[in-house]
């Protein structure tokens, strides 16, 4: 069972790597991941070999692909089948995908891949909880950022900014006094991924691979189809549009893929940076909750911003 869980995670990483824009642009990375006899049957019924894929994909624009409901079945000691669903943002298209992976000389490579376009099942999706989606928390990429699951190896990067009193000041949590405190946060987040109870994404600076912040669905209601966003960011990256860049991906995912009715964000009345971020991602100011939270020894007012799915669709 442990080996199966390890293989499941490894093949999930390989599949999602192939969905990333930077991988699809790299002939070298594609060559590494695809077997020499690779064959693909596309969602349009066309058949492609490895040479065609190496020539075609690097020329394509990033389609913006997210993955969910990933499953793996080990067929033998050297072969495995993966199945999952994707959403192609550029086309507004859902697709079922399956791949066959083969291990040769200790390295797993994809030898077969197939896609089938499918319509979103509105009634089924209406009944799905946010947790059922978050069990397969997708990765996102922008020109500068990669948003992915948190890992225990991120502890030093996360501690670096969570130990900064300026970063912790508007938060309900205290300044991290040691990496052990940060590790407790990571343990809670990582353990929740399996059940869909964690909505935290590490914000990774692509040029360095360093985690510079966390963006999250910090609360949600399945009944009311609402999600609350939050984030915290290394002081070094304040004022550079990083939070906006990250939250735009979460807003799109929440309203388009999860079909939330409402996404909201909250901040202190003197947190002008976060107010601008929420306005830039399309939220509108709705009002101020007076002295509603006790943070760092004082009651604070909280400004509420929100974006409705209806208004978001009209703006697209």
Q: In this structure, are 278 and 198 located in the same domain?
A: yes
pLDDT, one tens digit per residue, over 63-119 is: 888 888 888 889 998 999 999 988 888 777 888 999 999 999 999 999 999 988 876
Q: In this structure, are 145 and 172 located in the same domain?
A: yes
Residues in the chain: 316
Three-class secondary structure of residue 106 per DSSP:
coil
pLDDT, one tens digit per residue, over 126-157 is: 457 899 889 889 999 999 999 999 999 999 99
Total domain count for the chain? Answer: 2
The helix, strand and coil proportions of the chain, stated in percent and rounded to the nearest 5, come to 35, 35, 25
Beta strands in 192-308 (DSSP E): 200-205, 210-221, 226-233, 262-268, 284-295, 298-308
Three-class secondary structure of residue 255 per DSSP:
helix
Q: Which of 190, 193, 196, 207 is nearest to 155 (CA)?
A: 190
Q: In this structure, are 94 and 160 located in the same domain?
A: no
Q: In this structure, are 17 and 75 located in the same domain?
A: yes
Lowest-confidence region among 124-133, 150-159, 180-189, 290-299 = 124-133
As a whole number, mean pLDDT of residues 53-61 equals 92
Q: In this structure, are 109 and 135 located in the same domain?
A: no
Q: In this structure, are 87 and 233 located in the same domain?
A: no
Residue 310 vs residue 233, higher pLDDT = 233
Q: Which of 115, 111, 107 is nearest to 50 (CA)?
A: 111
Q: Which of 95, 191, 201, 92 is nearest to 154 (CA)?
A: 201
- CATH code where residue 204 lies: 3.40.630.30
Q: In this structure, are 64 and 172 located in the same domain?
A: no
Q: In this structure, are 65 and 167 located in the same domain?
A: no
Q: In this structure, are 213 and 309 located in the same domain?
A: yes
Three-class secondary structure of residue 195 per DSSP:
coil
pLDDT at 310: 87
Domain boundary among 66, 87, 119: 119
Q: In this structure, are 205 and 112 located in the same domain?
A: no
Q: In this structure, are 305 and 209 located in the same domain?
A: yes
Give the domain range for residue 263.
Answer: 127-315
Domain boundary among 66, 99, 119: 119
- pLDDT > 90: percent of the chain: 73
Question: Does the pLDDT of residue 160 top 80, yes or no?
Answer: yes
Q: In this structure, are 11 and 107 located in the same domain?
A: yes
- CATH code where residue 88 lies: 3.10.450.50
| Residue 2 pLDDT grade (very low, low, confident, very high; cuts 50, 70, 90) | very low
Q: What is the dihedral sign for C-alpha 154, 188, 304, 293?
A: negative
The two structure tokens encoding residue 182: 């940060």
The two structure tokens encoding residue 93: 């298209």
269 contacts 281 by C-beta, under 8 angstroms: no
Domain boundary among 65, 88, 119: 119
Question: Does the pLDDT of residue 208 top 60, yes or no?
Answer: yes
Residue 118 vs residue 57, higher pLDDT = 57
C-alpha–C-alpha distance, residues 133 and 247, integer Å: 18
pLDDT at 162: 98
Supply the mean pLDDT for the chain.
91
pLDDT at 127: 54
Question: How many angstroms separate the Cα of 74 from the Cα of each of 1, 144, 176?
Answer: 11, 36, 42
| Residue 1 pLDDT grade (very low, low, confident, very high; cuts 50, 70, 90) | very low
């Amino acid at each position: 069972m442990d080996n199966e869980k390890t293989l499941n995670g490894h093949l999930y990483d390989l599949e999602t790597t192939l969905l990333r824009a930077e991988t699809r642009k790299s002939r070298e990375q594609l060559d590494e991941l695809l077997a020499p006899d690779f064959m693909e049957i596309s969602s349009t019924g066309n058949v492609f070999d490895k040479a065609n894929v190496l020539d075609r994909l690097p020329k394509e624009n990033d389609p913006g692909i997210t993955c969910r409901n990933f499953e793996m079945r080990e067929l033998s000691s050297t072969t495995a089948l993966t199945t999952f669903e994707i959403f192609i943002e550029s086309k507004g298209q859902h697709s079922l995908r399956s791949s066959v992976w083969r291990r040769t000389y200790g390295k797993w490579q994809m030898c077969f891949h197939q896609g089938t376009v499918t319509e979103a099942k509105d009634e089924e999706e209406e009944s799905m909880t946010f947790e059922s989606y978050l069990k397969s928390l997708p990765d996102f990429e922008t020109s500068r950022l990669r948003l992915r699951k948190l890992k225990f190896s991120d502890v030093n990067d996360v501690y670096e900014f969570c130990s900064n009193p300026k970063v912790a000041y508007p938060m309900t949590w205290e300044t991290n006094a040691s990496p052990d405190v940060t590790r407790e946060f990571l343990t809670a987040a990582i353990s929740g991924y399996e059940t869909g109870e964690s909505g935290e994404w590490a914000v990774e600076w692509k040029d360095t691979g360093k985690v510079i912040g966390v963006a999250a669905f910090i609360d949600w209601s399945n009944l009311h189809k609402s999600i609350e966003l939050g984030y915290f960011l290394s002081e070094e990256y304040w004022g550079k549009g990083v939070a906006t860049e990250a939250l735009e991906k979460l807003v799109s995912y929440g309203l388009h893929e999860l079909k939330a009715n409402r996404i909201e964000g909250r901040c202190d009345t003197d947190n002008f940076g976060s107010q601008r971020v929420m306005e830039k991602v399309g939220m509108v100011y709705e009002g101020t909750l007076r002295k509603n939270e006790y943070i760092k020894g004082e009651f604070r007012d909280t400004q509420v911003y929100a974006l409705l799915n209806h208004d978001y669709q009209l703006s697209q």
